[in-house]
Structures are given as structure tokens and as C-alpha cells.
Amino acid sequence: MKHKILIAGMFVASFFTSCSDDYLDAPAKSTLDESVIFSNPGLAEGAIDGIKIPFAETNSYRGRYLPFYGLNTDTEWYNSSQTVSDASDLCTYDAQSINSQMNTTNNAWAMMYSGIERANIAIRGLRTYGNPTPGSELGYLLGEALTLRAIYYADLVKAWGDVPARFEPLNNETLYVSKSSRDVIYKQIIADLGEAATLVPWPGGSAATSSVERINKAFVKGFRARLALAASGYQQYPDGIRRSTDPELSVANMYVLALAESRSVIASGSAHLESSFETFWKKYNQEYIVAGGESLWEIPFSDGRGRMLFTFAVKHTTNDQFHANGANRGGTAGPLPTVFYDYDQEDTRRDVTCVPYKYGTAVNNVAKQELGALNTWYFGKYRYEWMTRFVTSTNDDGVNKIYMRYAEVLLIAAEAANELEGPAAAAPYLKEIRRRAFPAASQNEKVDNYVNLLTSKVAMFNALVDENKYEFTGEMERKQALIRWNLLKTKMDEAKADMKDLSNRSGNYKDVPTTLYYKYKADNVSLDIYGLNRGETTNPGADYSQFTWTWTGATADTKINTLYKPGVDPNNRQFWPIWKVFIESSNGMLTNDYGY
């Protein structure tokens, strides 16, 4: 599928270029092209694949949006947050409209609107010439186009708040438009996804939906549930932080929708959790893309595009036995150092998510694991060493971005059920998540007893906030969740206080050891580490070496304080500014809010 998208993109490139560049011309040529392309399933599929091309452009999702959006939170941060740069400004809530990482004409903003324009053309063409009915090939393609457009708009709204709404192809009158209320956009894409759900099969229900690189009904419904919660949640508007005042987007309406859609996915049996957390993430790194499991949809990157491991993997100092992706790959972001110690020690998600080592300089092309520093951890969900394909590109790894997985559907169902029906209705969904996280011997205590004690809506809600943290750290979903819960600054301030306690070995972190002990396992590559767990302070033996595990003084204070830039309130910087290049080319129609 990855290679097919590239070929299809080449095939339809001239079509989309002519349609977007010649929008001021008479429509005869474009209309003729559309009548041919969108009445033929094979040609139309190529056009739909063309909608996905902007995901992988250099300064789009691939190299700008995915590496930076979602950092920093109470669980994840840019590992160089303390270093002043345009890159760190994007994460520490102080981005400016002239940010050098973003202020280019081919930036993510432009590429998202390029994808939207391609989708608009395809949607118009399919509706006009294709007779896209449920169960037909053209009907599926319309559902896919509607969903892809919704993805672009959802991510625009996440990053910028109110943005121009374009749901028809460009013409003379719509070349320059002002921002629309995000409420208008949310209502449109939620409705679009409702239509798409009638047009696309469940995972594995057709050849197209046999892969998580294509849209399926479980994803559409789960995504619609996610958007319902976001649309009704708290967020920064130009007049302050509040929920939407549009009655259609009320909590009462949107939580009912979210619960119905998530329960529909669960009842379908078309998706499921993998048997273990580690199994799921190993399969992800092995690029297992068969639909019907835990991954619902992934942004499809070809082998030579995409930077998920390049950016987020456990750090590799040089080329080595696991990759030839270049020096210092991975490790640009990681969990906050407190996160490892916040997990229950028996939670199997902990060691998959939080990694305290990197791979050192290779000798004879073999690198060993090396302990790093208490203040710099890595996301273990992304690992070159778990890949089955040897990466040789100097700039890309080609691993897809998981856009949504079934675990999120379960937690959405739990949150909506708790709000509407109470904690007892939410309990089964939370138990399913935790049952996968804990070994069988611990489940009576850690799953059943733990959840059964959550007898109030407040207690259940707080538990779900924590569970989202343990399940999704490293996937950069936390920021939007904290925003919609109105907990962004509250939780970040708690995280700063927690990191200070860890530095001082006080409060909840007083029993975290200050010395690690390590030796190499039989493979002479992997570390055997003692002292990471709370209370592990006894020297395990002479065959272990000691490693100081402290983080104190001014350097600790500086890094902790730059979780968000001093003097900046992240609640007033929930969105990036619109970049200067787009404001200057908007014919005066675009301006920035929020004091930018």
C-alpha cells in the first residue's frame, strides 16, 4: 500500500495541480477531467490516494507537525526544552509567527489545506459523477475522502483553533477567506463522519479495509467519538477558556454521541486489544498493518518517508546493527523523568513506555545500551531494534503514525459512560484496559478491586485521567485531552512540582534510589539494571557497576522550569500562531488572536 500511494500520487499529480492552480479559469477542462476520473473506481481510487500525499511532504506532518505538536505536557516533553531555539519554542508554549521551523510556504498549514482541496475536489467529483452508494466501490471512496478531510481539519483545529473553513473547491470568490468558528468546522466534520460510517465497511470487510492504511468503519466511528469529546470540551477561544456555547455541541449532545459511537465499535467485535502491550508495540515497529486488531488507522508513509523513529525512538548515537538512519537518531522527546515512577511497578506498560538508556557509539557496527541521565528518558514504544526492515535512509524511517487505536475507544466509552450513566457503567471499559496492563496474579487487586472502589463520578473521572497517562504517554494525545478537561496548566504545574520532588528525593519520590547498578546480559548489548524500582538500594553484587542517578542544582531547576517557558501561561497559549507567511499572503483576511 505504501508504494501504491506514491504511484497513485504521481498519476493524479497533474490533475490536482491543474485544478488548484487554474481555479480562476473557466471550468470546462476540470469538469471534463472530473467526469472521467470520478465515474471510474480505479481512477477515483488514485485521486483519493492523492489526498494522502500532503501527509508526507517534507515540512508537513512528516517533518514538522508530528515531531512538535503535542509536546510539552505532564507526561511528555521535548528533551531539549531548556535550550532556547525555535524548535523548543514550539513545545514550551512560546512559538512566534516567524518561527523558522514553521514560517515557510510549504509548512504543515499549507499542506493540510492542500489535502483539504484535494479532498474537496474528490468529494465534488464523486457526488456529481460517481453515484457513491453504500456497498459500492465509489461509495467507499467517498467515505474515505470525507474522513481524510476530517482528519486534516481536526488537526488544523487542534493546532490553531479557529481556521478558515473550506468545504468546496476553490473559486474566484473563496480564494481569500477569514477564519471560521471552530464550532462550524466541528459540526461539519462530525456530520461528514456520520455519513462516512454508512459508506465504509468494518475492518476486514473488504479488500480496502484489510489494511490499517485505509479508512474503515471502526476508525470512522472511533474518530467521530474523539471529535465529539473535543468539540464539547474546554478550549481557548478569543474571549477566554470555555466550552462551546453552540447547543449542538453541548456536553449532553456530544457525550451521547461519543458513547453511542464507541459502544458501536466495541459491540462490532471488529477490533480488539493485543494480548500484551509489548506485543502491540513490537508489531507496530514491525510494520504489521493488517486491520482488525488494535490499530484502527495509521498515516501511511512509504519506506523512504516519515520520521516516527527518526524523531521519537530510543536514541541511537551512530549507525549500528539496528539501522543506518544516521547519527543521533531518535530521542528528541521522551517521558518526563517522573512518569516511570508514577506507574505501578507491576504495570507492564511502564517498561515499554519509559526507557532510561540509549545506544552508544558502535564499535565494529555493534552498539551497546548505555545509561543516560535521570532527566532524559526515551519513548520505548518506538524502537529501531524491534524493526524487521533495516532502515538505510539518512532522513526517514518510513514507519507509520498510529492515528488511533482501540484502547482509546475503550477509554472514550468509559469517560462518556461515567458522565452519562455513572461509574458502574464505565467500570467494564476501564477494567479491560487495566486487565491487559497487569499480570494475571495481580488482577484481583490491580484491576477488579481498584476499579470497584471508584464509586463516584469524580473518582472515576480522576482515574481515567491517570489511565490515559499510563496508556498513551509517547503518543502525543495528552495535550488535547488536558485542554478539553481544562487541566492543562494544572497538571503541568503538578508535574513541575513532582519533578522538583524527584530531584530532591522528597514527597512522593523520597524512596527513588540515587544509585543504579548495571551489567551487560549474555548478548553483551543489553543492560541488566538494578535500582530503577523504588526501594532498590542494596548493592546486588560485585559484578554490577554503579551509576549515579541524581539530578540536582541549577540545571535541574532550569529544565523543570522550562516545561513551559517562564512567564508564559500555557492556558493562554493552547494554539500555535498562524505563521507570518500565511497572514501576509491572505489579502488582509487572517490575523492572530491570543496576544500573538
Q: Tens of pLDDT along 428-441?
A: 999 999 999 999 99
Q: Is residue 445 part of a domain?
A: no
For residues 433 and 446, give the distance between their C-alpha atoms in angstroms, rounded to a whole number. Answer: 11
Q: What is the pTM of this model?
A: 0.95
For residue 482, being part of any structural domain is answered with no
The DSSP bridge pattern shows strands 357-359 and 378-379 to be unpaired
The answer as to whether 139 is a domain residue is yes
Q: What is the pLDDT of residue 22?
A: 33
Helix axes of 217-232 and 251-268: crossing angle, nearest 10 degrees? 160
Helix boundaries (H) for 97-164: 108-129, 137-160
Task: Domain count for the chain, please give it.
Answer: 1
The pLDDT, as a whole number, for residue 44 is 97
Distance CA 283, CA 388 (A): 10
Average pLDDT over residues 159-178: 96
* Helix, coil or strand: residue 440: helix
On whether residue 18 sits in a domain, the answer given is yes
* Domain limits for position 18: 1-60+109-171
Q: Is the dihedral of CA 55, 57, 61, 62 positive or negative?
A: positive
Give the pLDDT confidence score for residue 85 in this predicted structure.
Answer: 97
- What rounded mean pLDDT belongs to the chain? 94
Percent pLDDT > 70 in the chain is: 95
The pLDDT, as a whole number, for residue 31 is 52
Q: What is the pLDDT of residues 581-590, one digit of tens each?
A: 999 999 999 9
Q: Sorting pLDDT into bands at 50, 70 and 90, what band is 113? A: very high
Asked if residue 182 lies in contact with residue 152, where contact means CB atoms within 8 angstroms, the answer is: no
pLDDT band at 304 (very low <50, low <70, confident <90, very high): confident
Cα 139 from Cα 195, distance rounded (Å): 10
472-494 pLDDT, tens digit each: 999 999 999 999 999 999 999 99
Please state, for a pLDDT cut of 90, what percent of the chain lies above it: 93
Q: Is 100 among the domain residues?
A: no
What is the structure's pLDDT at 14?
45
Given a contact cutoff of 8 angstroms between Cβ atoms, the answer to whether 44 and 50 are in contact is: no
Least confident interval from 26-35, 192-201, 291-300, 328-337: 26-35
pLDDT tens digits, 16-50: 544 443 323 333 345 558 999 999 999 999 999 99
Indicate if the pLDDT at residue 339 is higher than 60: yes
Confidence of residue 6 (pLDDT cuts 50, 70, 90): very low
In a domain, 509, yes or no: no
Whole-number Å distance between alpha carbons of 78 and 100: 17
Where does residue 26 rank: exposed (0-12), middle (13-18), buried (19+ CB within 10 A)? exposed
Query: Which residues, other chains included, contact 512 with Cβ-Cβ below 8 Å and sequence gap of 6+?
Result: 341, 502, 505, 534
- Does residue 374 belong to any structural domain of this protein? no
The pLDDT assigned to 394 comes to 87
- The CA radius of gyration of the chain, in Å to the nearest whole number, is 24
Residue 133 lies in a domain: yes
Please compute the mean of the pLDDT values over residues 401-418 and round it to a whole number. Answer: 98
Q: Which of 374, 391, 373 is nearest to 382 (CA)?
A: 391
Length of the chain: 596
Model confidence pLDDT, tens digit, residues 344-379: 999 999 999 999 999 999 999 999 999 999 999 999
Looking at residue 159, its pLDDT comes to: 98
pLDDT of residue 234: 98
Decide if 473 contacts 353 (C-beta within 8 A): yes
Average pLDDT over residues 139-158: 98
